[in-house]
Amino acid sequence: MSEPFRYHHRVTYAECTVGNHIYHSRYLDLLEAARGEFLRSLGAPVLTLQEADYIFPVIEARLRYQAPARYDDWLTIEVRPSLVERIRVNFHHRILDQNHKLLLEAETFHCCTSREEKPKRLPPELVEKLLPLVAK
């Protein structure tokens, strides 16, 4: 199996609560940023896909919080596809801190639609790039 894509992020003060940990919903923003950079690394930037009338709304997200990320932590967000089907693509994510401690595991579930929200098949060229990377 190939290595997951890795995206790095420094936790900002704005992402944290008064208890000095990332607010729970902010993790979804981090996952989105990592997925966007992952697709860009494959030569399929989100904006290019959108301009070709493909969007990938999240239809479900599962997050398992293991430990908090805190202000100024250096995070590694790992991303890899876990399912690629006709109109579906799912991604597995892991967030680790600078000490390689697992902070969060997540999976996001997406369907492929047009901008008018009509389901449509994944673009064949994207499928070709994602299938070899699917987590087994």
Q: Is the pLDDT of residue 129 over 90?
A: yes
* Residue ranges making up the domain that contains 92: 5-133
Q: Find out whether 105 and 66 touch, Cβ atoms under 8 Å.
A: yes
* pLDDT per residue as tens digits for the range 58-113: 999 999 999 999 999 999 999 999 999 999 999 999 999 999 999 999 999 999 99
CATH of the domain at 14: 3.10.129.10
Residues 6+ apart with CB under 8 A from 125: 44
Total domains in the chain come to 1
pTM: 0.94
